[in-house]
Amino acid sequence: MRFNFDDESVQDVGVRFPKLDLKKDEVARVCAITPYFDVTIRHWVDRVGYVHCHGLKSAKSFADLVDMEKNPKVEECVMCAMSLRQDTKDMVNLPMRHAATYVLRYHTDTRGNLLHGQLGYHLEVWLLSNKKYKEIISLQKEWGGLQHYDLELTCVDNKYKNFDIGLKKEALWEKSDKEIQKKIIAYVKEEIEKYPLTVCLGEDIPEEMLKRRFEVIRRKNYPDEDVDLGVSSMGSEELSDSIVPQTTVPQDDPFKLTDTGGEIPSAVTEEEKAKAQEPEKGSSLDDLIPD
Ligand SMILES: [Zn+2]
């Protein structure tokens, strides 16, 4: 395809991965086949996308992550600092918690019925708002290993990607014969290597590179301002007023995403904390392989 050099649609739109997505009223049948999820604290950065908070380096527990939302790490993270400043808060959003897990999605019609009665499937990444992973955790608590049950997801709100979750008392992949089950597990292992959850949740961008990107954005938005364009001179200086806009950036940004989950954080139970730490202990699928 051909594009003009100044075509605004030519943007780095971030990492491509098979993201679980449904249209309004569409029903999907999936299995949360890996018994873990990843949680991050991330910032939405104008014209960059989601970036992992630099304060994550010192986070040791789920409680630390919850605290980072309430008390942004302004000393450790330039984005946290910018998100609190009047003149830059439209450029960098406040730190927000977000989670992701993998699901085996069966090939179904829009009502969740298997196509031609055949077991077709592929792996997708489910980006979970805080509310949704709490629902998953309570289902896990009630039923035990969710890899042994399918979930029926019904999209009730397309804009905010809000899915109603129903539990099926069987997992279709486990009803297939042992050879097919082994094939499915091998496939899942291969796919999750390609799409690490942390990469799906946001980018890791070092502070220096971020500052350079902010400078590029600033120059794009305020081309007539007389400023120092020497990027190299920015070195390890603190982010000064000279390299960030003094006024807010345009609101009609076509690159702004809407599916941030956006729930207000609430208190976390001890169980949730324990569950959330599970991924660090082990993410092996070996225990899923049938004997
Ligand atoms: Zn931060």
Give pLDDT tens digits for 110-160. Answer: 999 999 888 999 999 999 988 898 999 999 999 999 999 999 999 998 776
Q: Which residues pair with 38 in a beta bridge?
A: 100
Considering 142-151, 242-251, 265-274, the range whose residues carry the highest mean pLDDT is 142-151
The yes-or-no verdict on residue 191 having pLDDT over 50 is yes
What is d(CA 189, CA 194) in angstroms, rounded to the nearest whole number?
A: 9
Tokens representing 164 are: 């109603």
On whether residue 92 sits in a domain, the answer given is yes
What is d(CA 125, CA 206) in angstroms, rounded to the nearest whole number?
A: 25
Ligand 1 center from residue 93 Cα (angstroms):
9
Residue 113 CB partners (closer than 8 Å, separation 6+)? none
On whether residue 51 sits in a domain, the answer given is yes
Ligand 1 center from residue 104 Cα (angstroms):
32
On whether residue 217 sits in a domain, the answer given is no
Ligand 1 center from residue 202 Cα (angstroms):
12
Ligand 1 center from residue 59 Cα (angstroms):
12
> Strands (DSSP E) along the chain, which ranges?
27-31, 38-45, 49-52, 96-106, 121-128, 150-157, 162-168
Ligand 1 center from residue 200 Cα (angstroms):
18
Ligand 1 center from residue 268 Cα (angstroms):
21
Residue 10 CB partners (closer than 8 Å, separation 6+)? 3
Ligand 1 center from residue 261 Cα (angstroms):
18
Residue 219 CB partners (closer than 8 Å, separation 6+)? 227, 229
Ligand 1 center from residue 51 Cα (angstroms):
9
What is d(CA 288, CA 291) in angstroms, rounded to the nearest whole number?
A: 9
Report the SS3 class of residue 199.
helix
Ligand 1 center from residue 103 Cα (angstroms):
29
pLDDT in tens, 58-106: 999 999 999 999 999 999 999 999 999 998 888 999 999 999 999 999 9
pLDDT at 65: 95
- Full domain range(s) for residue 81: 27-205
Report the SS3 class of residue 193.
helix
In this structure, of 37-41, 67-71, 159-163, the range with the lowest mean pLDDT score is: 159-163
Ligand 1 center from residue 121 Cα (angstroms):
37
Tell me how many degrees the CA angle 119-121-125 measures, rounded to the nearest 5.
Answer: 155
Residue 143 CB partners (closer than 8 Å, separation 6+)? 149, 167
On whether residue 272 sits in a domain, the answer given is no
Ligand 1 center from residue 64 Cα (angstroms):
13
On whether residue 112 sits in a domain, the answer given is yes
What is d(CA 145, CA 139) in angstroms, rounded to the nearest whole number?
A: 9
pLDDT at 282: 37
pLDDT at 12: 54
Ligand 1 center from residue 42 Cα (angstroms):
7
Q: How confident is the model at residue 1 (pLDDT cuts 50, 70, 90)?
A: confident
The yes-or-no verdict on residue 227 having pLDDT over 90 is no
On whether residue 195 sits in a domain, the answer given is yes
Ligand 1 center from residue 204 Cα (angstroms):
12
pTM over the 0.75 mark: no
On whether residue 59 sits in a domain, the answer given is yes
pLDDT at 4: 74
**Mean pLDDT within 269-281:** 43
DSSP state string for 148-176: GSEEEEEEEETTTTEEEEEEESS-HHHHS
Ligand 1 center from residue 84 Cα (angstroms):
10
pLDDT at 14: 56
Domain count of the chain? 1
Ligand 1 center from residue 291 Cα (angstroms):
45
On whether residue 264 sits in a domain, the answer given is no
Q: Which residues pair with 50 in a beta bridge?
A: 44
**Mean pLDDT within 224-253:** 39
pLDDT at 249: 34
Ligand 1 center from residue 210 Cα (angstroms):
12
pLDDT at 192: 95
Tokens representing 210 are: 């971020």
pLDDT at 244: 37
Q: How confident is the model at residue 161 (pLDDT cuts 50, 70, 90)?
A: confident
pLDDT at 291: 38
Ligand 1 center from residue 149 Cα (angstroms):
37
The yes-or-no verdict on residue 285 having pLDDT over 80 is no
Identify which of 104, 31, 33 has the alpha carbon closest to the alpha carbon of residue 286.
33
The yes-or-no verdict on residue 2 having pLDDT over 90 is no
Ligand 1 center from residue 107 Cα (angstroms):
39
Q: How confident is the model at residue 276 (pLDDT cuts 50, 70, 90)?
A: very low
Ligand 1 center from residue 234 Cα (angstroms):
20
pLDDT in tens, 83-93: 999 988 889 99
Report the percent of the chain where pLDDT is more than 90.
Answer: 57
C-alpha atoms less than 13 angstroms from C-alpha of 21 in its C-beta half-sphere: 6
